[in-house]
Amino acid sequence: MAPHIVETGEFAGWRIWPDDPFEQTAGPFYMRDGAEGPEMAFRLERKHLNGMGSVHGGCLMSFADFALFGIAHEALKPSGYGITVAFTSEFLAGAREGALMEARGETLRAGGSLIFVRGVITADGIPCLNFSGTLKRLRERAGS
């Protein structure tokens, strides 16, 4: 399924992938093509917090995995599909409810089937997670 353009609210004009039930539950997470490359974002809600009232590490890692694909979306063509084969991250800071979470990064190398990506997630502009990953480009959607 193609991405869906959000028509209302804070993220109007951004894209979501409505066919990914986990991302819709964990996020929803949004993507757009910005002036300096792909941008991913979401607003931190209570459901994203741990017991101490800070963003849950699993939420950050889920968003980072989403961001890997947003950053590499051009390199994933022609099918647009891929899978994560490696992922690393370092926690830099926490974030509180209401923060605007954003991710940006770059594709370091796109080979025949492997794509190497790195990026940073910020909370209201403050770096809170550094991440990198390797994606394997698929010829068609997994399970097809």
In tens, the pLDDT along 113-125 reads 999 999 999 999 9
Task: Give the start-to-end residue ranges of the domains of the chain.
Answer: 4-137
- Least confident range from 18-22, 85-89, 123-127, 136-140: namely 18-22
pLDDT of residue 18: 76
Within 10 Å of residue 135's Cβ, how many Cβ atoms? 26
19 band by pLDDT with thresholds 50, 70 and 90:
confident
Q: Give the DSSP per-residue string, 83-132.
A: EEEEEEEEE----BTT-EEEEEEEEEEE-SSEEEEEEEEEETTEEEEEEE
Mean pLDDT of 62-81: 93
- Core vs surface per residue 78-105: b (16+ CB within 10 A) or e: eeebbeeeeeebeeeebbeeebebbbbb
Instruction: Write down the pTM of the prediction.
Output: 0.92
Residue 141 has a pLDDT of 63
Q: What is the CATH number of domain 4-137?
A: 3.10.129.10
Q: Percent of the chain at pLDDT above 90? A: 81
Residues 31-51: what's their mean pLDDT? Answer: 95
